[in-house]
């Protein structure tokens, strides 16, 4: 150790090797030989083994990890988009969310997640890429059913925010659900002791874009984010109890709150 260097500047497994890289889970210093690539940052060998042991896995017949829900959602979005283009907007009109139709056609709060702007291919491209990046990670962490419910209920939470904050706006797109996935990932990583400033920066940038770029529903972004945060917080808190019953209760509770707030909006006029 040279003068001015801290013991924390050396790999905990190789005390003579200087390094300034920390394990994303335990925050110990690790050198290049000890760094194992993780979905976010790097892990030390011990944390990598622990993460693999505790991670819920979805396996195919050959034993590999699979994310069928994420792939299915992406395929559905793509098929619906093709339908939008070839029907001249008929599919869009049938599936978009317009708040005045909430009581008579409440399913639109969810179906709007699968339709996108016909005039901007970037819209579905960005949402699809975000879903692929976040979904392939969260589906492995949460399991198929929890991930699907997280996506759908976060999207519905985004529609609820539109109902309250922009009741005259017609909206399309999965961005509300995507922000729910962002929020859930932040909470889940935090429960592992991981601080991810890069994810926070990306999230903040995208939130700000909703306020400065015309045509983007910042209301759906906020609603989806808050819903995803609430669901993930509940899942983390129930992790030590009966997992299945706890998970079901969390999703039912959040969905119930959304239903009550939806009806309340119309009662209040």
Q: Which of 221, 238, 241, 247 is catalytic?
A: 221
The yes-or-no answer on residue 217 being catalytic is no
- Cα separation, 50 vs 1, in Å, equals 31
The residue whose two tokens read 């699809």 is 128
Say if residues 176 and 183 touch (Cβ distance below 8 Å).
no
- Tokens 């994310």 — which residue? 67
Confirm whether 221 is a catalytic residue. yes
Concatenated DSSP letters of 198-266: HHHHHHHHHHHHHHHSTT--HHHHHHHHHHHHHHHHHHHHTTTS-HHHHHHHHHHHHHHHHHHHHHHHH
Task: Count Cβ atoms below 10 Å from residue 243 Cβ, excluding itself.
Answer: 14
Catalytic residue among 175, 191, 241, 247: 175
Residue pointed to by tokens 């692929």: 132
State the catalytic residues: 175, 221
């Amino acid at each position: 150790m040279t003068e001015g260097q801290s013991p924390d500047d050396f790999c905990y497994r190789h005390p003579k090797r200087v390094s300034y890289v920390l394990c994303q889970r335990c925050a110990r210093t690790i050198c290049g030989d000890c760094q194992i690539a993780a979905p976010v940052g790097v892990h030390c060998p011990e944390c990598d083994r622990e993460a693999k042991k505790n991670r819920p896995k979805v396996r195919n017949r050959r034993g590999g990890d699979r994310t069928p829900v994420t792939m299915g959602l992406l395929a559905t979005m793509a098929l619906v988009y093709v339908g939008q283009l070839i029907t001249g907007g008929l599919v869009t009109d049938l599936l978009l969310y317009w708040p005045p139709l909430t009581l008579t056609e409440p399913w639109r709060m969810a179906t709007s997640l699968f339709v996108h702007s016909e005039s901007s291919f970037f819209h579905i491209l960005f949402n699809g890429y975000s879903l692929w990046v976040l979904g392939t990670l969260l589906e492995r962490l949460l399991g198929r059913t929890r991930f699907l419910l997280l996506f759908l209920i976060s999207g519905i939470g985004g529609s609820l925010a539109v109902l309250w904050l922009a009741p005259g706006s017609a909206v399309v797109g999965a961005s509300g659900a995507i922000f729910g996935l962002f929020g859930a990932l932040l909470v889940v990583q935090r429960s592992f002791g991981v601080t991810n400033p890069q994810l926070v920066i990306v999230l903040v940038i995208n939130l700000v874009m909703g306020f400065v770029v015309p045509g983007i529903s910042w209301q759906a972004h906020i609603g989806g984010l808050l819903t995803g945060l609430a669901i993930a917080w509940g899942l983390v808190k129930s992790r030590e109890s009966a997992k299945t019953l706890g998970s079901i209760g969390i999703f039912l509770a959040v969905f119930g709150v959304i239903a009550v707030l939806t009806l309340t909006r119309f009662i209040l006029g």
